[in-house]
């Protein structure tokens, strides 16, 4: 049987930085409030002519370079995004594939909001284990600034732009295989986090009426409470189902939504500070990109080593959630 191994990581952040002080000039907020309630100090914002596919392509190039896998051998590209280049089609994954010059691939996007990276990891794993694909490029990429209302202080203070990518490939060595991935969803909470306009469920009569209103809306406080509850339960389950104690986890890499959520879940799992990866302060919440961006940070700091066990967990619109137990298994 083929197993799926996590080979490499890469990430990209756009140049422009939007600080809390900048936001305080735009909406009724302050650096003190944002820092205390979220842990975020700044986030990156893509240029006007820089699209989600550009962010994803830049991250993917790094992941491919670090993988030791010939790009011609990549047979599938999956992009998780809620801010695709184009409404409906073509998918951002096909655009990234073109920009990378990849041929002979299957390519598509999925929409699972901030849980997107865990979802595409599970899809890559399933395709590889079934024998249908061998080398899958997965990308979480977001230009959230394109769907953020910068007059709404409840959302604009947390979101940022960026991308992360990883190469998942087939192996016969079970030691280096992804151990488990959990994914879940509950549509009864759909109204907590939405872009209510722009689709066939919109209350607007025509697309032209809503061109300027395809923004994210969030019931932040309710989302916060469900996030802590659901994540804690899900992560405890994946650990116990696999007979793994939390102190065997080298790096706990949660979705970077809000430092208080990360801290609450980390504490519930009795994680030590050095196990928990926190990058929300410098990138904000980049939805599907946040986990691979955080992973890339520890890779570039030399902290992520071959064989290290990573525990991923995420939560987002839908509602969706997921977790994964992943040894880092580079080829080179």
By CB under 6 A, name the binding residues for ligand UT7: 29, 33, 37-38, 114, 153-154, 157-158, 220-221, 223-224, 227, 257-258, 261, 285, 315-316
Q: How far is the CB of 159 from ligand UT7 (least distance, A)?
A: 8
Q: How far is the CB of 261 from ligand UT7 (least distance, A)?
A: 6
Nearer to ligand UT7 among residue 97 and residue 230 (C-beta)? 230
Nearer to ligand UT7 among residue 78 and residue 144 (C-beta)? 144
214 is catalytic: no
Q: What angle do CA 179, 182, 96 make, to 5 degrees?
A: 90
- Dist CA 104 CA 75 (whole Å): 6
Which of the residues 20, 197, 258, 285 is marked catalytic?
285
Q: How far is the CB of 322 from ligand UT7 (least distance, A)?
A: 12
- CB burial readout 32-67, b (16+ within 10 A) else e: eebeebbbbbbbbbbeeebbbbbbbbbbbbbbbebb
Nearer to ligand UT7 among residue 33 and residue 108 (C-beta)? 33
Which of the residues 114, 156, 197, 214 is marked catalytic?
114
Q: Which residue is closest to ligand UT7 by CB? A: 220
204 is catalytic: no
Nearer to ligand UT7 among residue 221 and residue 301 (C-beta)? 221
Residue 167: strand pairing partners: 8, 137
Q: How far is the CB of 160 from ligand UT7 (least distance, A)?
A: 11
Which of the residues 44, 182, 251, 255 is marked catalytic?
255
Asked if 75 contacts 134 with a C-beta cutoff of 8 angstroms, the reply is yes
Q: How far is the CB of 255 from ligand UT7 (least distance, A)?
A: 6
238-244: long-range contacts at Cβ-Cβ below 8 A with a sequence spacing of 24 or more? 238/180, 238/182, 238/311, 238/323, 238/324, 238/325, 239/269, 239/311, 239/325, 241/180, 242/179, 242/180, 242/325, 244/179, 244/309, 244/325
Q: How far is the CB of 156 from ligand UT7 (least distance, A)?
A: 8
Name the token pair of 260: 């208080």
Phi-psi region of 287 (alpha: psi -120 to 50; beta: other; left: phi over 0): left
- Dist CA 190 CA 319 (whole Å): 6
Nearer to ligand UT7 among residue 90 and residue 220 (C-beta)? 220
Phi-psi region of 113 (alpha: psi -120 to 50; beta: other; left: phi over 0): left
Q: How far is the CB of 11 from ligand UT7 (least distance, A)?
A: 18
Nearer to ligand UT7 among residue 128 and residue 280 (C-beta)? 280
Nearer to ligand UT7 among residue 114 and residue 137 (C-beta)? 114
255 is catalytic: yes
Name the token pair of 148: 């953020």
Name the token pair of 217: 């809306």
Active-site positions? Answer: 114, 255, 285
């Amino acid at each position: 049987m083929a197993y799926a191994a996590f080979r490499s990581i890469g990430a990209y952040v756009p140049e422009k930085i939007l600080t809390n002080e900048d936001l305080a000039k735009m909406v009724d907020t302050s650096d003190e409030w944002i820092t205390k309630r979220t842990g975020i100090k700044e986030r990156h914002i893509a240029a006007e002519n820089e699209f989600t596919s550009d962010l994803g392509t830049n991250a993917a190039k790094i992941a491919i370079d670090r993988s030791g896998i010939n790009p011609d051998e990549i047979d599938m590209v999956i992009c998780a995004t809620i801010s695709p280049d184009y409404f409906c089609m073509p998918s951002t994954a096909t655009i990234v594939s073109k920009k990378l010059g990849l041929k002979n691939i299957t390519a598509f996007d999925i929409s699972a909001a901030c849980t997107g990276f865990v979802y595409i990891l599970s899809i890559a794993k399933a395709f590889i284990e079934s024998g249908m694909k061998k080398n899958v490029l997965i990308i979480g990429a977001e230009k959230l600034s394109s769907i953020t209302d910068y007059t709404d202080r409840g959302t604009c203070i947390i979101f940022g732009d960026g991308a992360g990518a990883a190469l998942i490939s087939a192996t016969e060595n079970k030691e280096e295989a992804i151990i488990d991935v959990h994914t879940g969803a509950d549509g009864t909470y759909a109204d907590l986090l939405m872009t209510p306009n722009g689709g066939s469920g919109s209350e607007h009569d025509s697309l032209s009426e809503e061109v300027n209103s395809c923004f994210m809306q969030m019931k932040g406080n309710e989302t916060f409470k469900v996030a802590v509850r659901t994540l804690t339960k899900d992560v405890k389950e994946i650990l116990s189902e696999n007979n793994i104690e939390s102190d065997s986890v080298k790096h706990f890499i949660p979705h970077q939504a809000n430092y208080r959520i990360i801290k609450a879940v980390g504490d519930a799992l009795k994680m030590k500070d050095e196990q928990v990866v926190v990058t929300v302060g410098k990138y904000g919440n980049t939805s599907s990109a946040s986990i691979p961006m955080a992973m890339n940070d520890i890779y570039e700091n030399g902290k992520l080593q071959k064989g290290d066990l990573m525990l991923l967990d995420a939560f987002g619109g839908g509602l969706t959630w997921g977790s994964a137990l992943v040894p880092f298994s580079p080829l080179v």
